[in-house]
Structure 1
Amino acid sequence: MEYRRLGRSGLKVSEIAYGNWLTHGSQVEEDAARACVAAALDEGVTTFDTADVYALTRAEQVLGKALGGVRRESIEICTKVFWPTGPGPNDRGLSRKHIIESANASLRRLGTDYIDLYQAHRYDHETPLVETLRAFDDLVRQGKVLYIGVSEWRPEQIAAALRIADRMGLDRIVSNQPQYNMIWRVIEAEVVPLCEREGVGQLAWSPLAQGALNEHREQGAPDQQRGTLRNLAVANRHAVVRRSGQVGDHVGTVVCALCGRTVTSVPMSVPRRSDATSANTEPCVDAVERTLPKVQELLYERFDPPLVEHIDHGFVRTAQSCGPKPERPGHSSASRNTHWPSTPDLRIAMRRPHMPA
């Protein structure tokens, strides 16, 4: 395992992080989750990414128990705040009240005295940005948080936060956690150049598009493994992959190579195995032990620009038959922080300006 500095900060994170979205506390039994965490630690993973909203706060609790007994100084725990964690009007967003209360609750669930990286899970249009940044800065000064980051923020939002922090002497953002994969590369146009200039690292989530990019090799997988994807309304992405016959077995290499050269760390979710139970943890452990070495190998595999252009062309051509990204229930297009590119913008969104050799 290799370790990289997170942005321009002094914090080093493992190039492959362990994420537990949609798994711990919901689809994976607690004993299996503990076994997976232990397997990840054995492979050299030191960075663990979660959020207060995952599995309605239970994911943090499961991760905290799984990391119990591990020397705290040897790992980096990352979590997030924004989405609702309760029924009240202040149980969501990035107000001072919610940030402080959520941080204290996350600390209790994780069983730790401090959070290495505390991230704003989305941008809050209803709260003044100054209030949000001051609350994060207060947590840093109290020693409850060491570094702060954001997730799925637009470039102008990141830039505004950095300007305010510099002007007011507040703690700066050191990381951004965007979705980034072969069919969702919108960060390349503006977010990545901005972050490179400002010293903000990238922790890319969904490097395989929630399984869509390796579905062609798992056509016989049980429906339970893909049911959650349908519930999350990502059918368009699967359609693009299914209709792009040119992608083939190259996609894993290219996805990992892109991530390895653009981002600091790639949070890989726990494999969702329907045959993993409290009495049988071997399927998840085996998946972790087989996956991590292969991903590490692909992170440093060289690839030719013509191959990427070939794959891009296939995605763009087949995406023309796909409609806009479906709405999340209760969320309008005006309130979303990220957008599925329309057909005219797709080629621009997927273009990589400086493709490495």
Structure 2
Amino acid sequence: MEYTHLGNSGLEVSRLCLGCMNFGSEQPWMVHDHDDALEVIDRALDLGINFVDTANAYSKGESEEILGKALAERDREEFVVATKVYFPMRDGPNGQGLSRKHILDQAQASLDRLDTDYIDLYQIHRWDDNTPIEETLSALDSLIDEGIVRYVGASSMPAWKFMKALHTADVNNYERFISMQCEYNLVDRHEEANVLPLCEDQDIGVIPWSPLAGGFLADKYEQGKDPDEGRAATDDFMQKRFTEDNWAVLETVRKLADEKDATAAQVSLAWLLHKDLVDSPIIGPRTIEHLEDNVDSLDVTLTAEERQRLEAPIEPVWNRAIGDV
């Protein structure tokens, strides 16, 4: 395994981050059996992945509980545990968002589910238009002062809002976000026209979610055929990826994979790993086989010409509807 620093911080993370959204029972395509999920997590840790990402909203806390079980028998100091806050956790007032009350309540709830004393990276899952950013940053700052949180990060928002948060933190001497978790892969490149230039300018670490486009770039689907399994069979969010340009990208991925005796997933992840701005793509394997295949992407080398071939079919355009999902 290779390691890097997250953004301009001193925090060392593995070049691949294990995403735990798939571990739980909220959706039919998730890993419902906790023992199966624990086996994948344990194998990831044995392979040297020290960076694990979840969220309180993933299966309403079930994902955090599974991760907590996996880490219970390990040396906690060896791992960088990331989770998030924003989405609804219960009905009624103060059940969601980034108010001081919701953040402080959910931070403690996440600690309990993760069975840990602290969270290494606490991320706002989305921007909250109903809460002043000063209130959100002040709440996060207090968690750092208490030692409950070590670093703070953000996820999926327009660049101007992210810059507003960074500026507010600088002006008020609040803890600054060190990372941005955004959708980024070979067919979802809209962030190149939004937040990624800002991250480069501000030395913000980038940890892309959905690096394989929900399995599209792992060559799980066939053009012209209705998917009968996997996430695309039940998730309308996947349908946006079945475009002519995206199929053209996948065809290039397939050709390069054949040339390099690699898999489509490995080539797609390698493209991200070659981006200087990208620190640690968040992989979401549901099986040990998929996990090991993903990790082998670290050994795939792409030339500048090959990367250009992969990027040629798409011209990145920022679409707020996509960015705010």
TM-score tier, shorter chain, comes to 0.7 to 0.9
Q: Secondary structure at the match of 2:313?
A: helix
TM-score, L = length of structure 2: 0.86
Are residues 1:183 and 2:187 paired? yes
Cα distance in 1 between the residues matched to 2:191 and 2:232: 28
Match of 2:284 among 269, 276, 285: 269
Are residues 1:248 and 2:254 paired? yes
Match of 1:54 among 50, 58, 65: 58
Q: Secondary structure at the match of 1:233?
A: helix
1:47, 1:75 within 8 Å by CA — same for their partners in 2? yes
Cα-to-partner distance string for 1:226-247 (whole Å, 9 max, x where unaligned) = 345x424321312343466444
CA displacement at 1:221 relative to structure 2: 12
Match of 1:38?
42
Q: Cα 1:288–1:216, aligned 2, differ >3 Å: closer, same or farther?
A: closer
Q: Secondary structure at the match of 2:138?
A: helix
Q: Secondary structure at the match of 1:206?
A: coil
Cα distance in 2 between the residues matched to 1:225 and 1:312: 26
Match of 1:314?
313
Match of 2:9?
9
CA displacement at 1:248 relative to structure 2: 2.8
Partner amino acid, structure 2, of 1:31: D
Cα-to-partner distance string for 1:208-256 (whole Å, 9 max, x where unaligned) = 111112236779998332345x424321312343466444333652552
Cα distance in 2 between the residues matched to 1:43 and 1:221: 35
Partner amino acid, structure 2, of 1:248: R
Match of 2:290?
287
2:99, 2:135 within 8 Å by CA — same for their partners in 1? yes
CA displacement at 1:270 relative to structure 2: 2.4
Cα distance in 1 between the residues matched to 2:237 and 2:192: 24
TM-score, L = length of structure 1: 0.79
Gaps of at least 5 residues in structure 2 are 257-263
Matching of residues 178-257 of structure 1 within 5 Å? 178-215=182-219, 223-227=228-232, 230-240=234-244, 241-242=246-247, 245-250=251-256, 252=265, 253=267, 255-257=269-271
Cα distance in 2 between the residues matched to 1:160 and 1:303: 37
CA displacement at 1:309 relative to structure 2: 4.3
Are residues 1:167 and 2:166 paired? no
Are residues 1:18 and 2:32 paired? no
Cα distance in 1 between the residues matched to 2:308 and 2:2: 29
Identity %: 36
Cα distance in 1 between the residues matched to 2:203 and 2:237: 34
Cα-to-partner distance string for 1:185-206 (whole Å, 9 max, x where unaligned) = 1222342222122221001111
Cα distance in 1 between the residues matched to 2:324 and 2:70: 35
Partner amino acid, structure 2, of 1:338: G
Q: Secondary structure at the match of 1:296?
A: helix
2:89, 2:95 within 8 Å by CA — same for their partners in 1? yes
Cα distance in 2 between the residues matched to 1:237 and 1:227: 10
Are residues 1:113 and 2:117 paired? yes
Q: Cα 1:291–1:226, aligned 2, differ >3 Å: closer, same or farther?
A: same
Cα distance in 2 between the residues matched to 1:165 and 1:243: 42
Match of 2:133?
129
Q: Secondary structure at the match of 1:165?
A: helix
Q: Cα 1:21–1:132, aligned 2, differ >3 Å: closer, same or farther?
A: same
Match of 1:149?
153
Partner amino acid, structure 1, of 2:254: G
- RMSD of aligned C-alpha atoms? 2.6
Partner amino acid, structure 1, of 2:12: K
CA displacement at 1:21 relative to structure 2: 1.3
2:152, 2:177 within 8 Å by CA — same for their partners in 1? yes
Partner amino acid, structure 1, of 2:179: S
Cα distance in 1 between the residues matched to 2:311 and 2:204: 27
1:254, 1:303 within 8 Å by CA — same for their partners in 2? no
Q: Cα 1:216–1:41, aligned 2, differ >3 Å: closer, same or farther?
A: closer
2:182, 2:206 within 8 Å by CA — same for their partners in 1? yes
Match of 1:71 among 75, 88, 97: 75
2:43, 2:288 within 8 Å by CA — same for their partners in 1? yes
Match of 2:260?
none
Q: Cα 1:222–1:41, aligned 2, differ >3 Å: closer, same or farther?
A: farther
Cα-to-partner distance string for 1:126-148 (whole Å, 9 max, x where unaligned) = 11010010001010101000000
Cα distance in 1 between the residues matched to 2:274 and 2:209: 13
CA displacement at 1:263 relative to structure 2: 0.7
Q: Secondary structure at the match of 1:67?
A: helix
Q: Cα 1:338–1:112, aligned 2, differ >3 Å: closer, same or farther?
A: same
